[in-house]
């Protein structure tokens, strides 16, 4: 869907005389989303990109694109001077920062002002008050806004103050957001190491290693209020959002409005959010976040002085384009929306699609997307950073896109969202799609019995549900589709020939071994024609026929049943088959397999060799050659997609060799460490 909701209930009469060209100081799906609104408003868009993003979607759809060179984020998207220079060089009157990156950096807002560039966001002082959790907390206390009890200071000060608090405690990055730097501590002996971990993450992501600690609230809800404020003292709320479904302290499903809070609590939260804006003289779009306990008591958490990832669900229920309103406010125009006329229409749900593996601790999954297909359904909106096969870099956040569903009520939105996810095809890398599908059908989620630790407390149940749902797809059907593709890819799919086509060899009753997720299955083929195969799989007969195809999408008849499947070849030269909502990796087991594994063991020498499970950067090595490690010892930490991933010893062993250094970039072919078994 281009732009947002097709009906805009309260679109302002834009006066864009001051803003004719906007540079977007961001990348990915938010840059694409901003550009689409700019196009609708006939405002010229300027994208920026580093060397990894040369062919990215936001560069291709923008009217202009300016290079930022190569290097780490601090050298490109976080380099204020480069962004300012690009804006001045392009003639842009304004900069939209999106979310993340430089969006809450007061120095960036000030640099824009110093260069007569309009910053589409709040002023730097509002950022300084609300962009830092410590200052925001002080502000809240001074204005009688309820907050959770907490404290900050040096490492020694925090350790001393913590002695007077009961556990669990929650550590947060002072300048943080997006779940970065958050750690729950349940035992006093874990506090010091957790503080160091949080500070390290905060330094890496925000350039500020300060943290603070607060009393942890058990089973909280995460509710937030969207606000708009202009330069004439008018402040509006655009209702609320439920953001309790999180993993790694980062949201994965958001809803609007929340169905968890009473009308009385809702009204008080709205007034508190507006009062905060009025007290600090806030201008532009922002989000005030609260924790709500089981007794409907709410506590101010933070204010995000930018557009949020989940702004989409608010747009869907209100019909308001929030990016348009940001531009309108930045142009010094008064808000033309009245609080009395705002209506929350229906219910919206957003599912964030991440490049990660939920079945392996949500480890990031950068790599090459070999097939990308968006669902085409009514009431469904896709905000995406990609539109075709592409490389997902390990250098950025793992979020690929967002699927948003808007219908008349929550039950209907859940149903449509689940269907749309099953038709959303992303092959070549791991994603959390299946995890989201089973989450949406979980009975506790459906009945709204949840809190911010829903994914942790339900993890085993959800992973079991994925496994059971996957088992319902017949292996024979997967193998039949795979072989149909494998034997016909030269003629029908313009792919490389397989060995049988190359040597012109064919006979009836040919035996083939097919591996599905590495488990081998015997197939006897009794008849083969272009677009047609029949035979037996594990002694059960099958017949599959190609009806038609559109690139990677195949319409087939499988044992007389019509099916739609998607097929692509992975970067490891395997074949990914998407059937009935799930992806299955298949290969010919009678051909060579040169896949490199993360962990390999030599039983005779009792050595264990570790290769990196993903591309990334080694940020910490905790062991030395000759050290003895135990099962569970964290030997080193790899940062990928802004997440820390621990490489853990599987057994009692001796560190024989360390083949990498801190700050070294690694890929999945690089051996990290070698362990020698200890008797």
The answer to whether the beta carbons of residues 647 and 639 sit under 8 Å apart is no
Which of 120, 135, 165 finishes a domain?
A: 120
What average pLDDT does this structure show over 118-131?
93
- Would you state the pLDDT for residue 287? 97
Residue 514's CATH number: 3.30.700
Same domain, residue pair 654 and 578: no
pLDDT digits (tens, 9 = 90+) for 306-349: 999 999 999 999 999 999 999 999 999 999 999 999 999 999 99
Same domain, residue pair 392 and 464: yes
Residue 346's CATH number: 3.30.470.20
Same domain, residue pair 415 and 557: no
Lowest mean pLDDT among 75-79, 118-122, 134-138: 134-138
Whether the pLDDT of residue 675 is over 90: the answer is: no
Determine how β-strand 211-215 pairs with β-strand 250-256: unpaired
Same domain, residue pair 626 and 521: no
Same domain, residue pair 293 and 397: yes
- Would you state the pLDDT for residue 676? 84
Cα gap 563→569, rounded to integer Å: 20
- Would you state the pLDDT for residue 10? 39
- Would you state the pLDDT for residue 16? 46
- Expressed as residue numbers, the domain containing 193 is 149-215
- b/e map of 513-540 (b: 16 or more CB within 10 Å)? ebbbeeeebebebeebeebebbbebeee
pLDDT digits (tens, 9 = 90+) for 586-631: 988 765 433 334 444 444 456 777 777 777 888 888 888 888 888 7
Residue 165's CATH number: 3.30.1490.20
126 in a structural domain = no
Same domain, residue pair 451 and 491: no
- Would you state the pLDDT for residue 600? 47
133 in a structural domain = no
For the record, the structure tokens of 155 come out as 């490492």
607 in a structural domain = yes
Strand order in the sheet with 44-49: 64-67, 44-49, 21-24, 94-96, 118-119
Q: What is the DSSP letter of 147?
A: B
Cα gap 568→485, rounded to integer Å: 9
Q: Which residues are catalytic?
A: 306
Strand order in the sheet with 235-247: 298-304, 284-292, 221-229, 235-247, 250-256, 347-354, 399-407, 380-384
> Number of structural domains, the chain?
5
369 in a structural domain = yes
Share the mean pLDDT of the chain.
Answer: 87
More confident residue, 412 or 572: 412
Which of 198, 215, 232 finishes a domain?
A: 215
- Would you state the pLDDT for residue 440? 97
For the record, the structure tokens of 509 come out as 């009753």
More confident residue, 500 or 167: 167
Same domain, residue pair 481 and 344: no
56 in a structural domain = yes
Same domain, residue pair 421 and 286: yes
269 in a structural domain = yes
Q: Quick one: pLDDT band at residue 671, thresholds 50, 70, 90? A: confident
Cα gap 204→242, rounded to integer Å: 29
Intra-chain end-to-end CA distance of the chain, in Å: 62
- Would you state the pLDDT for residue 404? 98
* Bond before 257 cis per omega within 30 degrees: yes
* Of 316, 335, 338, the residue nearest 14 (C-alpha): 335
141 in a structural domain = no
What average pLDDT does this structure show over 56-70?
96
More confident residue, 25 or 398: 25
- Would you state the pLDDT for residue 115? 97
- Would you state the pLDDT for residue 679? 53
51 strand-pairing partners: none
The answer to whether the beta carbons of residues 305 and 104 sit under 8 Å apart is yes
Same domain, residue pair 457 and 576: no
The answer to whether the beta carbons of residues 50 and 355 sit under 8 Å apart is no
What average pLDDT does this structure show over 407-420?
97
Q: Quick one: pLDDT band at residue 72, thresholds 50, 70, 90? A: confident
Give percent above pLDDT 90 in the chain: 59
Same domain, residue pair 490 and 559: yes
Whether the pLDDT of residue 497 is over 70: the answer is: no
Cα gap 335→326, rounded to integer Å: 10
Which parts of 162-211 fold into alpha helices (H)? 191-206
Same domain, residue pair 290 and 391: yes
Query: DSSP 3-state assignment of 437?
Result: helix
Q: DSSP characters for 325-345?
A: HHHHHHTTPPP---GGG----
Same domain, residue pair 364 and 274: yes
329 in a structural domain = yes
The answer to whether the beta carbons of residues 77 and 26 sit under 8 Å apart is yes
pLDDT digits (tens, 9 = 90+) for 240-249: 999 999 998 8
| Inter-helix orientation angle 433-440/459-471, to 10° | 100
Give percent above pLDDT 70 in the chain: 90
Which of 422, 443, 471 finishes a domain?
A: 471
The answer to whether the beta carbons of residues 475 and 521 sit under 8 Å apart is yes
């Amino acid at each position: 869907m281009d732009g947002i909701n097709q009906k805009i209930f309260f679109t302002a009469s834009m006066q864009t005389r001051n803003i004719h060209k906007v540079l977007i100081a961001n990348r990915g799906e938010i840059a694409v989303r901003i550009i689409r609104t700019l196009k609708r408003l006939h405002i010229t868009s300027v994208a920026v990109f580093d060397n990894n993003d040369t062919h990215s979607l936001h560069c291709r759809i923008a009217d202009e694109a300016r290079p930022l060179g190569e290097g780490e984020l601090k050298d490109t998207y976080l380099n204020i001077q480069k962004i300012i220079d690009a804006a001045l060089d392009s003639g842009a009157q304004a900069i939209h920062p999106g979310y993340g990156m430089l969006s809450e950096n007061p120095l960036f807002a000030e640099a824009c002002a110093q260069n007569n560039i309009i910053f589409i966001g709040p002023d730097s002082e509002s950022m300084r008050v609300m962009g830092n959790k410590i200052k925001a907390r002080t502000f809240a206390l001074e204005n009688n806004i309820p907050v959770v009890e907490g404290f900050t200071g040096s490492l020694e000060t925090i350790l001393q103050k913590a002695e007077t608090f009961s556990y669990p405690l929650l550590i947060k990055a002072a300048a943080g957001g997006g779940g970065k730097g958050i750690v729950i501590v349940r035992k006093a002996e874990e506090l010091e190491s957790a503080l160091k971990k949080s500070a390290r993450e905060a330094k890496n992501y925000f350039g500020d290693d300060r943290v603070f600690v607060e009393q942890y609230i058990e089973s909280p809800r995460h509710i937030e209020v969207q606000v708009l404020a202009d330069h004439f003292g008018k402040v509006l709320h655009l209702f609320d959002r439920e953001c309790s479904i999180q993993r790694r302290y980062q949201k994965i499903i958001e809803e609007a409005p929340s169905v968890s809070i009473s009308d009385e609590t809702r009204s008080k939260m709205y007034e508190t959010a507006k009062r905060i804006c009025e007290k600090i003289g806030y201008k532009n779009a922002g989000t005030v976040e609260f924790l709500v306990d089981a007794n409907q008591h709410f506590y101010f958490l933070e204010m995000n002085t930018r557009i949020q990832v989940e702004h989409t669900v608010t747009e869907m229920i209100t019909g308001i384009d929030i990016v348009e309103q940001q531009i309108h406010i930045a142009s010094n125009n008064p808000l033309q929306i009245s609080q009395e006329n705002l209506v929350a229409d229906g219910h919206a749900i957003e599912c964030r699609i991440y490049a990660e593996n939920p079945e392996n601790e949500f480890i990031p999954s950068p790599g090459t997307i070999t097939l990308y297909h968006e669902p085409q359904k009514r009431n469904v909106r896709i905000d995406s950073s990609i539109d075709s096969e592409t490389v997902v870099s390990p250098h950025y956040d793992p979020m690929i896109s967002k699927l948003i569903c808007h219908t008349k009520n929550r039950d209907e939105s859940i149903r449509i969202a689940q269907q749309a996810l099953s038709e959303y095809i992303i092959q070549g890398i791991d994603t959390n799609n299946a995890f989201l599908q089973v989450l949406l059908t979980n009975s506790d989620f459906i009945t709204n019995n949840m809190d911010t630790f829903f994914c942790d407390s339900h993890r085993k149940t959800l992973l079991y549900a994925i496994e059971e749902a996957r088992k319902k797809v017949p292996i024979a059907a997967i193998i039949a589709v795979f072989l149909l593709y494998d034997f016909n890819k030269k003629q029908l799919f313009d792919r490389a020939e397989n060995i049988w086509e190359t040597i012109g060899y064919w006979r009836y009753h040919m035996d083939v071994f097919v591996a599905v997720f590495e488990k081998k299955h015997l197939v006897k083929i009794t008849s083969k024609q272009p677009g047609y195969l029949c035979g037996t799989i594990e002694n059960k007969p099958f017949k599959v026929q190609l009806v038609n195809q559109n690139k990677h999408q195949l319409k087939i008849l499988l044992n007389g049943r019509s099916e739609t499947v998607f097929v692509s070849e992975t970067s490891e030269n395997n074949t990914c088959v998407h059937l009935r909502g799930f992806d299955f990796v298949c290969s010919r087991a009678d051909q060579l397999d040169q896949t490199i594994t993360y962990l390999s063991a030599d039983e005779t020498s009792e050595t264990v060799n570790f290769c990196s499970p993903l591309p990334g950067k080694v940020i910490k090595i905790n062991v030395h050659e000759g050290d003895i490690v135990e099962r569970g010892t964290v030997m080193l930490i790899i940062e990928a997609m802004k997440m820390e991933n621990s490489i853990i010893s599987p057994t009692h062993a001796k560190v024989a060799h360390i083949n990498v250094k801190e700050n070294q970039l690694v890929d999945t072919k690089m051996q990290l460490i070698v362990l020698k078994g200890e008797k």
